[in-house]
Each structure stands twice: as structure tokens, then as C-alpha cells.
Amino acid sequence: LPLKIDIIKHPNETDGKSTAIHAKLLAPEFVNIYTYPCIPEYEEKNHEVALVFPGPKSVSIKDISFHLQKRIQNNVKDKNDDPDKPFIKRKKTEEQDSNDSKCQDTTLKKIIFIDSTWNQTNKIFTDERLQGLLQVELKTRKTCFWRHQKGKPDTFLSTIEAIYYFLVDYHTDILKEKYQGQYDNLLFFYSFMYQLIKNAKCSGDKETRKLI
């Protein structure tokens, strides 16, 4: 995978129903799963980390690099706004940090996903340890999940769908490379279950029609 993935799993999320484990099984060196309230500290690296979650402050994948660069600039500015530092020293530090910021890599290093039913996400999403992170939303993708939650839009994806679609869009929009199926295997278990359930449903419909 092009970057590391952290999955924050709700403690009440049933393992047998979760698709997060698909990513861990298929890409174990790149994926870590944490059960809430266990969350790593991201604050020091907030210009390298983003949270995939829909909301009014969420940005598109295409705008990730721009917003990460702004965070680096803001971090430098905050360091130089310390009133206890002498003016001359502040000016020198400001110039030095400004040059350093231009050399810093604004490439995303890690992406975070919340694994939970949509009705349970609020507790994790509002945790103060996630508040300072850039939020990214997948606005154009539609779910194929067989347990679609009533009252939620079809752009609300299952965890493995969100991971897959994010990586595909990241590959084309950020890495600027042609996508040639590099991450398709992430959907191996998902597509298997989808087909299994689809076949079972079709068989059930046929049996029902026979009884009628």
C-alpha cells in the first residue's frame, strides 16, 4: 500500500460483521487495528495524518496536499509566536523554520478510518485526540454493502470499501499514476461474501416463488 492505515474500532462492533479485519488480513504490514478508547497520539504528526470521515470540515482527496502544507505553515507560525522569545531571535528562527517548512514532505503518511455502525461513530469521531486532524470525505463513491443502514445515504461506505476507494483515488489524484488494479485484492473477502449473500438471496427468492 502507498501509506499506513490505522483503524479505530468501536468496542461494540462485532468482529464477525466488521470488514476492517479484511484489510488487516490482506495487508498486515500496513494496517493496524485499535479498539476504542485505545487511540495512538497523532498531534505531533498532524501534517502527515488524515481521518476519513464525512462532515462540514471534510476536504476532497484532491485537496489533501494543499491542506497539509497549510498545517505545516501554521505549525511554524505557532512556534514563532512565542512572546517570551526576543524579537531578533524570533526573526532568525522564523526565517530558518520557514526555509525548513519548504523542505518538509507534505505527502500523507497515514490515514485513519473509524470502524463502527454509523449510529455509533459520534463517540469516536468527537474524541479530542482526533479533533486536530485533517478530515477527508469520499463524496462520489456508493456502497455495495449488503447491510445498508436505514436512513443513511449510499455514499456511507463500509470500512473496507472506504479503504479501497480512498487508495484508488489517492493513487490517481495524489500520486498521479494510472490505476491498474494494484489494490483490488483488498476486496477479496468482501467480494466473496457479496457473491455468497447474493446467491443465497436468489436461491431464497426462487424457493419463495415455488411456494407461492
Question: Cα angle vertex 138, ends 151, 147, to 5°?
Answer: 40
What secondary structure does DSSP assign to 99-153, as a single string? HHHHHS--S--EEEEEES-GGGHHHHHT-GGGTTSEEE---S-----SSPPTTS-
If one compares 155 and 212, the residue with the highest pLDDT of the two is: 155
Cβ–Cβ under 8 Å, residues 41 and 8: no
If one compares 101 and 205, the residue with the highest pLDDT of the two is: 205
Task: Report the C-alpha gap between 208 and 212 in whole angstroms.
Answer: 6
If one compares 59 and 71, the residue with the highest pLDDT of the two is: 59
If one compares 155 and 19, the residue with the highest pLDDT of the two is: 19
Tens digits of per-residue pLDDT, 64-113?
989 888 888 876 666 556 555 554 444 444 444 444 434 345 578 999 99
User: What's the pLDDT at 95?
Assistant: 46
Cβ–Cβ under 8 Å, residues 30 and 92: no
Residue 46 vs residues 73, 107, 198: alpha-carbon distances, Å:
12, 12, 41
| Arithmetic mean of pLDDT, 131-144 | 87
Task: Return the domain boundaries, the chain.
Answer: 4-80+105-211
